[in-house]
Structure 1
Amino acid sequence: MTEREIENFDVHAFNRQVIAEFRQNGGKLTGWMEGWSVCVLTTTGARTGEPRETPLGYFEIGGQPLVVASVMGGPKNPAWYHNIRKNPQVTVETGAETYDAMATIETGGRRDELFAAVAAQNEGMRDYQRKTARVLPVVTLHRIDRDQRSDQDSAGAERVRGLGDFLVEAHDWLRAELAELHRQVDEIIEGDASSPELERPKPDLAQQLRAHCTEFCAALKQHHTGEDRGAFPMLAQQFPELSPTLEKLGQEHEAVARLQDEIRRLVDEYEPGRTDPAHLKTRLESMTGELEAHFAYEERTIVAALNTLGPAPNIP
C-alpha cells in the first residue's frame, strides 16, 4: 500500500471483514492475505473497558507466539497496543485454537532479536519498518491455562497448580482466619452483654483472641512481605505493563499494615469487664472490608499473570 492509501484506509471495516472470513474459514484467508498466519487478538479497551478484536499477523519464534504492532508501517502505534499497556491480559484465536494469554511488550535487545527473526520470515514486516520512523513494537504472548488445578483432568492427567492459584489459596486461608477473629470478638461481646454486673467474660477468651490475632497478623505480614519482595518483582520484570497495578497493590499493603497495627494494639489493650469490645469490632470490620477489597483486586489483576510464571510451591 502507498502512504496515501494507508492514510485513507478504513481500518475498522477491514478488520471486520478479515475477522468474519477468518472465523468462517477456520483461520484461513483468501486474496492478498492468502497463506498468512493470522490471529484475532482480543484486548480490553483502555478507556472503555470493552473487548476489542483485531486481526494480526501471528508468528512463533523459538516456540514463543508473538505479534507486531506494525499498522502496515503507519506513523502511530495501534489502539490494541495502548490497550495492552493498560491491561495485558488478552485472548488469542489462531483458527486452530483459542487461548488466554498475558501480553508483554518486549524492549531492548530482546525486542531487536525477535523482530529480526520475524523479518527474516516475513518480507512485509521489513517493509513496514522501513516505512516508519517509529520502532515497531514486538509483543510476546504468554499462554494462561485457566484450568490449572491440583486435581486430575478428564483424561486422568495431573494438572499443575500455578503461582496464582497458590496466591488465591493463601487469601482463602487468611479469610478463614479473619472470620475466626470475628467469631471470637462476637463471643466476647455476647458474654459481656449477658453477664451479670459481677460476672464478666472470662479472661481466657481475651487471651485466645490475643493469641489468634498475633498469629493472624504475623501470617498477613509474611504474606505481604513475600509478595513485595518476591512475586511483585518477578511480575514487574516479566510484565512491565503491570507496574501501575503492582505499585497500587504495594500502597494497599502499607494501608493494611497500619490498620493491622491498630487492631493488634486494641486487642493487646483489651481487658474483660473494663474495655468496650464494640470499638474493636468496628475497627476489625473496617480492616476486613479493606482487606477483602485488596484480595479481590489482586486476584482480578495478577493471578493470571502469576500462573504463567511457574507452578505453585510444593508445601505439605
Structure 2
Amino acid sequence: MEEFRANSGVVGGMFAGARLLLLTTVGARSGRPHTVPLGYLPDGGERVLVIGSAGGSPRDPAWVRNLVAHPRVTVEDGVFTYEASAAVLAGAERDAVFARAVEQDAGWAEYERVSGRVLPVVALTAIPGPPRFAASTPGGMLRSVHDAFRRELGLIRAEVAGSGPVLGAQLRVNCLSLCAGVHGHHVREDEGMFPGVEASRPDLAAAMAALRVEHERIAAVLERLQAVLGSGERAGLAAEVDRLIAELESHLEHEERVLIPVLDG
C-alpha cells in the first residue's frame, strides 16, 4: 500500500502491470477503517468490480463482510480518492460478470473451485462529489491523469495482443471503459480547464485552439474503435488500438508541454 500511494498506483513484483485499487471499508464489528489492495475489473462508467477470492480461502474475506454491514467505502485508484457505494451482485448479473472475469483470467475459476464457495462479486459505484487528488499541484494532477491513461493503454494493447480470434467480453468492456474515460476527460477540459486558461492567458489562444483540434481528432479515433467493438469482430481491433495509442500519446505530451507550466504558475 505504501508503494501504491507513493507511485500513483504503480507497484512492482508479482502485481506489476495489474489493475489495482485500495479499498477502505469500515469494520463490521470494530467500526474502524480497514484498507486492502485489490485487483479490479473495469465495468464502464462510474463502476468498477472486485472479487472476493481471498486466494481461494473457504471463507469470504473480511472486507466483503465489512461492506455488507457498511456499504459506503473509500476507493483509491492511484490518481483519485473517492467515496463509493458497494453492492454484492447476485443472480444472473453476478454470473455474467464472473464469466467475463474467467474468460479473461481462468485463475478466478480456479480460486472458486479451490474455495468451495461462490466467490462474491462486488460493484463499487462512485458517489457524486469532488474526488481528492493524490498529486499536490494542478500540473501534477494533470500528469497523473495522463499517466493513468498511458498505463491503461499499455494494458489494453497487451490484452489485445494476447487475445484469441474472438473478441472477449471483458476485453470489450475494458476498451469501452477507456473510451468513456478519455471522452469524459476531454469534455471536462473543453468546458472547464481550457476556458480558464484562455481567460488568464490570451497569448495562448493559438495553442489552446490546437489542443481542441486534437480533441476532435481523438474523438474520431474513439468512434472508429467503438464501431469495431460494436461489431463484435476481432479483426481490425489491434490496428484501431494502435491508432488510438499513437494519437493520444502525442496529444498528452503536447498538452503537458503547453499546460503544466501554466497550471503550476
* TM-score normalised by L of structure 2: 0.47
Larger Rg belongs to: 1
* TM-score normalised by L of structure 1: 0.40
